[in-house]
């Protein structure tokens, strides 16, 4: 389509003319604009059909239930075992001993005694412990002298232990009421389970070792003492 007016002189032109009849200048043709039809909205098909979930079988549900209960039991055990005030694993298995008196408001220091070694057992009289309430003795191995002690807890348990507090290298202890105290650093532990109460060496009470009562004798396995190692 030709322009209606000449762009140079402005004279009106005839339809289809290629040159201006007044000034002779060429006329430009107007580009024909074709209107496009509006596009339909792009509706993208889903890439994949929805996945149909199958219901969990009864057998699988039972397996998951047992696994969940097992995990819960493990976490509960770990949590309870780290709570303060729990029983000491060695002391809780020790023999019960009847006592006429307990330690309430008493201060008791260890009394030195001699222990015997016979048939791979370290032994001393139970009656001596009941009399003195806390005794100290030593085991002489081929390479070292190992100090030990024994007392009856406030709950009536026989407690035998390696008599050492490693950080301060103390071999002296005393009972004050329901607490055991180090004679060097004054760290204190509960008498019943040797749980730390106060002081710098709470993690290092006298180290309990298993023992038994046979007749009137307290017996300790010699190999347990002989193979004992420092904790630090």
Q: What is the DSSP string of 159-184?
A: EEEE--BTTTTB--EEEETTEEEETT
Same-domain pairing of 101 and 191: yes
- Residue 232 resides in a domain: no
- What's the pTM? 0.64
Q: How many C-beta atoms surround the C-beta of residue 127 within 10 A? A: 11
Same-domain pairing of 98 and 209: yes
- Residue 123 resides in a domain: yes
d(CA 200, CA 208): 19
Same-domain pairing of 117 and 191: yes
CA 65 vs CA 57, 59, 69, 71, 169: distances in Å: 12, 10, 6, 10, 52
- Residue 145 resides in a domain: yes
Burial of 223 (0-12, 13-18, 19+ CB in 10 A): exposed
Structural domain count of the chain = 2
Same-domain pairing of 212 and 130: yes
- Residue 196 resides in a domain: yes
Same-domain pairing of 205 and 124: yes
Q: Determine the structural domain holding residue 219 and report its residue range.
A: 91-226
Angle at the Cα of 215 (from 213 to 217), degrees rounded to 5? Answer: 55
What per-residue confidence (pLDDT) applies to 62?
86
Same-domain pairing of 106 and 2: no
- Residue 10 resides in a domain: yes
- Residue 139 resides in a domain: yes
- Residue 112 resides in a domain: yes
Query: What number is the average pLDDT over the span 88-117?
Result: 87
d(CA 130, CA 151): 8
CATH at residue 191: 2.102.10.10
Q: What is the mean pLDDT of the chain?
A: 85
- Residue 52 resides in a domain: no
Same-domain pairing of 121 and 221: yes
Same-domain pairing of 217 and 135: yes
Tens of pLDDT, residues 137-184: 999 988 899 999 999 998 899 999 999 999 999 999 999 999 999 999
Residue 36 has pLDDT above 70, yes or no: no
Same-domain pairing of 6 and 101: no
The answer to whether 50 and 34 are in contact (CB under 8 A) is no
Same-domain pairing of 119 and 221: yes
Same-domain pairing of 117 and 207: yes
Q: How confident is the model at residue 23 (pLDDT cuts 50, 70, 90)?
A: confident
Q: In this predicted model, which residue has the larger pLDDT, 11 or 142?
A: 142
Same-domain pairing of 25 and 140: no
What per-residue confidence (pLDDT) applies to 83?
46
What per-residue confidence (pLDDT) applies to 15?
74
* Closest by CA position to 225, among listed 91, 87, 117: 117
Residue 39 has pLDDT above 70, yes or no: no
Residue 112 has pLDDT above 70, yes or no: yes
* Closest by CA position to 155, among listed 99, 84, 218: 99
């Amino acid at each position: 389509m030709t322009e209606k007016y000449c762009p140079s002189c402005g004279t009106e032109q005839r339809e289809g003319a290629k040159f201006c009849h007044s000034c002779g200048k060429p006329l430009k043709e107007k580009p024909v604009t074709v209107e496009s039809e509006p596009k339909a909205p792009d509706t993208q098909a889903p890439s994949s059909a929805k996945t149909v979930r199958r219901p969990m079988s009864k057998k699988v549900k039972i397996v998951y239930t047992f696994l969940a209960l097992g995990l819960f039991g493990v976490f509960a055990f770990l949590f309870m075992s780290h709570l303060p005030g729990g029983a000491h694993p060695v002391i809780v298995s020790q023999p019960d001993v009847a006592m006429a008196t307990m330690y309430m408001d008493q201060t008791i220091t260890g009394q030195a005694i001699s222990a015997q070694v016979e048939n791979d057992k370290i032994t001393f009289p139970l009656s001596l412990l009941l009399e003195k309430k806390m005794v100290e003795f030593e085991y002489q191995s081929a390479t070292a002298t190992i100090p030990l002690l024994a007392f009856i807890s406030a709950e009536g348990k026989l407690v035998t232990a390696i008599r050492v507090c490693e950080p301060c290298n103390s071999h002296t202890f005393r009972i004050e009421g329901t607490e055991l105290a180090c004679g060097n650093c004054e760290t204190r532990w509960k008498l019943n389970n040797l749980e730390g109460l106060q002081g710098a060496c709470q993690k290092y009470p006298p180290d309990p070792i298993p023992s038994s009562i046979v007749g009137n004798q307290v017996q300790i396995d010699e190999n347990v003492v002989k193979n004992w190692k420092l904790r630090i």
